[in-house]
Structure 1
Amino acid sequence: MDQVTGRLEKPRQGWAGLWNISFGFFGIQIGFALQNANMSRVFQSLGASLDDLPALWVAAPLTGLLVQPIIGFMSDRTWLGRFGRRRPYFVAGALLAALSLILMPLAPVLLAAAALLWLLDASLNISMEPFRAFVGDQLRRDQHTAGYAVQTAFIGAGAVIGSIFPYLLEHWGVSNVAAAGAIPDTVRWSFWAGGAALFLAVMWTVFTTREYSPDEMRGFGEEAPIEGGDAMRALASRSWLAALFWFDIGVIVVAATWYFGLEKEVYLLGALLIAYGLLSVFVVMRAKAGQGAGMLGSLVGDFSGMPSVMKQLALVQFFSWSALFIMWINTTPVVALNFFGASDPDSALYQEAGNWVGVLFAVYNGVAALAALLILPPLAKRIGKARTHALCLGAGALGYASFFLFNDPQHLLLAEIGVGIAWASILAMPYAILAGALPQAKLGTYMGLFNIFIVVPQLLVATVMGSIMKAFFPGEPIWTMAFAAGVMALAALATLRVREA
């Protein structure tokens, strides 16, 4: 019991409890790592050009944009008795993701691979979003930093396994080359093993944890009835003409894309802005008519009235995830061309470069796992979460910039140390800051909405970066790392504005 408030407190979790709460993320991140390190390679093996990659990768962030807020909203309002409210989503997402990983290497054509990427990312997001809220549900506020740090350590460990597995299989004698238009056996077997590992890890968390009931959460003073009245009152006070702002911006983007002949992917960005503008008008008009909130009204209202610390972190997320998405899309072609001298995706040298990228990704994720446990908690306790985040993002910017300093692919391992430190903080610090500042009853909803600031920059990179590279740096993907370094540095500066609760 808290001596100040007189309320009951959640039991303090030991290492075993922290392990069980977050172990499922180990499997989820194996799936993400296989996706991040190999999908550009899979697409190019099936005939995609370098210029096609951003458009093909649009599926991943677009799926997250749609899925995470909806799943967060639903999981806040789900209670299936002993099955809980978050764990049913863990199971559903894990089943679909494992199936997608099994089918991905069997994709006969590029379109099938792109569709399976969409399904895979949607499934991973179904499981992942409730895991963020699950940590806040299960832990006391003074354990949030430790909880998200352990979760980050499992994310790093899972990503190491997922990233390095094709490289290890090649050294164990599995073929790393394939006929034109086919996927190497190293990638195929990695996806199949990853699907099994993902499902088993998520099931571990499902069977070793128990969720607190709504009555227990109210006893802890962290849960209140969810109502849509506040959101609808806030929306009713807005002018529907003001809600058209995003619609107007979307129309301008579409017109500019047509007039200047920009890449067709930019139309998607404009369409999303138009859709959000129309949605805002719809829910404002419903609110003014006194109608119920519903899911759309609640999501738009909560997004409009998000806490100030969430708004401050939004800019940080925008810049930091822009840098990450640039890295995920472009590292394989950058390393292949600039460090191995290979541009043909069907060549053995290109496949060797693809395996080395897996090693690089494994290194930055391994560094992240160690940094999450050894650096983040003591540093955050000493200088605060926000300043810790700023320092780590600065290390990431230096890591990207160092791609221009090296000629030997082995030296890129040094660059990945800085990237890994930044990655550890990106996965832990914003959520540790938010978990203590958000209303517990809407933790899933706000964590899902927070994902918008992860997805929008990825969509922007996927739709705009191709046009920038084609116009100014055709055939020179190395310059994408300069963009990554610059925006990561901006993220570090933006973090200095964040005011912790």
Structure 2
Amino acid sequence: MTHPQAQRPELSFWQIWNMCFGFIGIQFGFALQNANVSRIFQTLGAEIDALPILWVAAPLTGLLVQPIVGYFSDKTWNRLGRRRPYFLVGAVATSASLFFMPHSPTLWIAAGMLWIMDASINISMEPFRAFVGDMLPQKQRTLGFVMQAFFIGVGSVVASCLPWLMTNLAGISNTAAPGVVPDSVIWSFTLGGLAVLLAVGWTIIRTREYSPEQLAAFNAAEGQVDTERTASAKPVGFYQKSGLIWLAIGVGATAAIAAFSLQAELYILAACSIGFALLQLSAGALQKRGGTANGIYQITHDLFHMPRAMAQLAVVQFFSWFALFAMWIYITPAVTSHHYGALDASGELYNSGADWTGVLLGSYNGYAMLAAFLIPVMARQWGRKLTHCVNLLLGAVGFLSFWWVRDPAWLLVSMVGVGFAWASIISMPYAMLSCVLPGHKMGVYMGIFNFFIVIPQILAASILGLLVATLFGGHSIYALMLGGGCWVLAALLTLRVDDTP
């Protein structure tokens, strides 16, 4: 006698709260990193022009770490569970990095700590995305990812304000001798490290994972079968031919950059092309020898066999995140020049504009927290595709309004749209994606999906400087206009996604 296989049970609000709470700790690490690492680098002697190269650690570690962690977490099961071992390892390593980084004695040790910190954050973060797909039935996944978006907003606002709070509320100095990181930053990183441990620890202690047998039963009940699609594997010749093409592109680009003395950041794009080529050539060689039971081959195989909806969402993510990086890189020079008329970075007017930019950046995370309460309602009424499309268009209007809004105080209204777009970008694509992925490969596909966050970041860091200097005549405001156009395009492309309700 056979028994019907059960669907994933619905979880209560507080169960979903507990399983997502660790994200506030992860975001503490990211927010402290984003707001203070350049300050630490400059304190230790870095020149302004060197900052992009020092920061390249962030996208490159995400590109490498997330698919690898996803692949191994799919195959892990021990006393702690499937995803939670990675939460724990990543949290401990992140906390150690936060404790040590502001005490770095030299610039290069600080740069190395950034690599370690970003890799550690990615070790914890990637399984959190897959965790929602493991634990929640499809109809609750929108709520799960929006809950993560809420905690991202909370963590961003609080952690970004920590140095200011240390100085203005605790009376801790925000200045120090040359080459020494101020105590306000040191204490902020220390508290951030504790927050990571406590928040991620809460999720580990308060959440229990389903066993591999239970997950297999749930996947089968949802029409998923845990079998490899070997019949559709690309032939060895495909990997060899494609790998050689990408290798030629990378080598040719490297030669062109050197010959024409182009921006050094463009070497990153050339290196990515060569790296992608080597990945494919390695996969082809492994397949030829019959060695397909390993991470290199499986990640490459899955990249070229992603579900149709994932490929559609990947394009949406590409343009969405290109716009975000355009904002993060150029909002300060755009506001200070376009709204304050300040070009001298040492002048009082410029610094007033830069201070106000910090308020604007904090505000959109606050708006995102509010949007997290509205997006599930919008999704129930309109569906996930239309909800994401509307939120991206709101963000586009926010960006484009920077051109014609002259009073910088009114830019707080512009950031409402940006906040809604941000909350949607870090939730809705994952809600749609999790419903089309095979359950036994949730981790590796979430890691591969991160490619389409990292690649636009690398592209933006590599070409936006060239675009602003040449095509835009040095006017940073046009970088935000470009970002608005990218969000309009991403919104339209969202309507083409094959979403599963």
The TM-score, its normalising length taken from structure 1, stands at 0.91
> Would the alpha carbon gap of residues 429 and 36 (structure 1) be closer, same or farther in structure 2, given more than 3 Å must change?
same
1:20 aligns with 2:21: no
Distance 1:231 1:59 in 2: 38
The answer for the alignment partner of 2:489 in structure 1 is: 490
Deviation at 1:351, TM superposition (A): 7.1
Alignment of structure 1 residues 26-175 onto 2, 5 Å = 26-81=24-79, 83-172=80-169, 173-175=171-173
Distance 1:276 1:231 in 2: 24
Deviations 1:183-202 (A, max 9, x none): 44433322221111111100
The answer for the alignment partner of 1:259 in structure 2 is: 259
> Which 5+ residue runs of structure 1 have no aligned equivalent?
none
Deviation at 1:284, TM superposition (A): 1.6
Alignment of structure 1 residues 166-245 onto 2, 5 Å = 166-172=163-169, 173-222=171-220, 230=230, 233-236=233-236, 238=238, 240-245=240-245
> Would the alpha carbon gap of residues 294 and 65 (structure 1) be closer, same or farther in structure 2, given more than 3 Å must change?
same
The answer for the alignment partner of 2:278 in structure 1 is: 278
The answer for the alignment partner of 2:400 in structure 1 is: 401
Deviation at 1:349, TM superposition (A): 7.9
Distance 1:406 1:44 in 2: 33
Moved more, 427-436 or 37-46: 37-46
Secondary structure in 2 matching 1:291:
coil
Moved more, 220-229 or 298-307: 220-229
Distance 1:147 1:160 in 2: 20
Aligned length in residues: 494
1:380 aligns with 2:379: yes
Moved more, 361-370 or 247-256: 247-256
Structure 1 contact 100–119 (Cα < 8 Å) conserved: yes
Structure 1 contact 57–462 (Cα < 8 Å) conserved: no
Structure 1 contact 40–332 (Cα < 8 Å) conserved: no
Deviation at 1:31, TM superposition (A): 1.3
The answer for the alignment partner of 1:424 in structure 2 is: 423
Deviation at 1:94, TM superposition (A): 0.7
Structure 2 contact 226–438 (Cα < 8 Å) conserved: no
Distance 1:319 1:50 in 2: 27
> Would the alpha carbon gap of residues 88 and 499 (structure 1) be closer, same or farther in structure 2, given more than 3 Å must change?
same
Distance 1:40 1:334 in 2: 19
Moved more, 257-266 or 418-427: 257-266
Deviation at 1:234, TM superposition (A): 3.1
Distance 1:266 1:234 in 2: 31
Deviation at 1:114, TM superposition (A): 2.3
Distance 2:21 2:295 in 1: 30
Distance 2:321 2:446 in 1: 16
The answer for the alignment partner of 2:363 in structure 1 is: 363
Moved more, 69-78 or 266-275: 266-275
Distance 1:420 1:305 in 2: 33
Secondary structure in 2 matching 1:217:
helix
Deviation at 1:492, TM superposition (A): 1.8
Deviation at 1:370, TM superposition (A): 1.5
Structure 1 contact 34–162 (Cα < 8 Å) conserved: yes
Secondary structure in 2 matching 1:211:
coil
Distance 1:409 1:120 in 2: 35
**Which AA in structure 2 matches 1:63?**
T
Distance 1:141 1:44 in 2: 46
Deviation at 1:75, TM superposition (A): 0.2
Structure 1 contact 283–296 (Cα < 8 Å) conserved: yes
Deviation at 1:350, TM superposition (A): 7.2
Structure 2 contact 364–416 (Cα < 8 Å) conserved: yes
**Which AA in structure 1 matches 2:14?**
A
> Would the alpha carbon gap of residues 327 and 46 (structure 1) be closer, same or farther in structure 2, given more than 3 Å must change?
farther
Percent identity (aligned)? 48
Distance 2:319 2:297 in 1: 28
Secondary structure in 2 matching 1:238:
helix
Distance 2:345 2:457 in 1: 26
**Which AA in structure 1 matches 2:68?**
I
Structure 2 contact 282–296 (Cα < 8 Å) conserved: no
> Which 5+ residue runs of structure 2 have no aligned equivalent?
none
Structure 1 contact 396–422 (Cα < 8 Å) conserved: yes
Secondary structure in 2 matching 1:12:
coil
Deviation at 1:115, TM superposition (A): 2.0
Q: CA RMSD in A?
A: 2.7
Deviation at 1:90, TM superposition (A): 0.4
Structure 1 contact 389–492 (Cα < 8 Å) conserved: yes
Alignment of structure 1 residues 242-391 onto 2, 5 Å = 242-335=242-335, 341=342, 344=345, 356-374=356-374, 376-391=375-390
Structure 1 contact 232–287 (Cα < 8 Å) conserved: no
The TM-score, its normalising length taken from structure 2, stands at 0.91
Structure 1 contact 157–369 (Cα < 8 Å) conserved: yes
> Would the alpha carbon gap of residues 485 and 472 (structure 1) be closer, same or farther in structure 2, given more than 3 Å must change?
same
Structure 1 contact 64–125 (Cα < 8 Å) conserved: yes
Structure 1 contact 164–358 (Cα < 8 Å) conserved: no
Structure 1 contact 176–351 (Cα < 8 Å) conserved: no
**Which AA in structure 1 matches 2:145?**
Y
> Would the alpha carbon gap of residues 89 and 238 (structure 1) be closer, same or farther in structure 2, given more than 3 Å must change?
same
Structure 1 contact 178–185 (Cα < 8 Å) conserved: yes
Secondary structure in 2 matching 1:195:
helix
1:439 aligns with 2:431: no
Structure 1 contact 7–221 (Cα < 8 Å) conserved: no
Distance 1:438 1:388 in 2: 21
Deviation at 1:470, TM superposition (A): 3.9
Structure 2 contact 32–160 (Cα < 8 Å) conserved: yes
> Would the alpha carbon gap of residues 100 and 348 (structure 1) be closer, same or farther in structure 2, given more than 3 Å must change?
farther
Structure 1 contact 38–354 (Cα < 8 Å) conserved: no
Deviation at 1:407, TM superposition (A): 4.9
> Would the alpha carbon gap of residues 67 and 76 (structure 1) be closer, same or farther in structure 2, given more than 3 Å must change?
same
Moved more, 436-445 or 104-113: 104-113
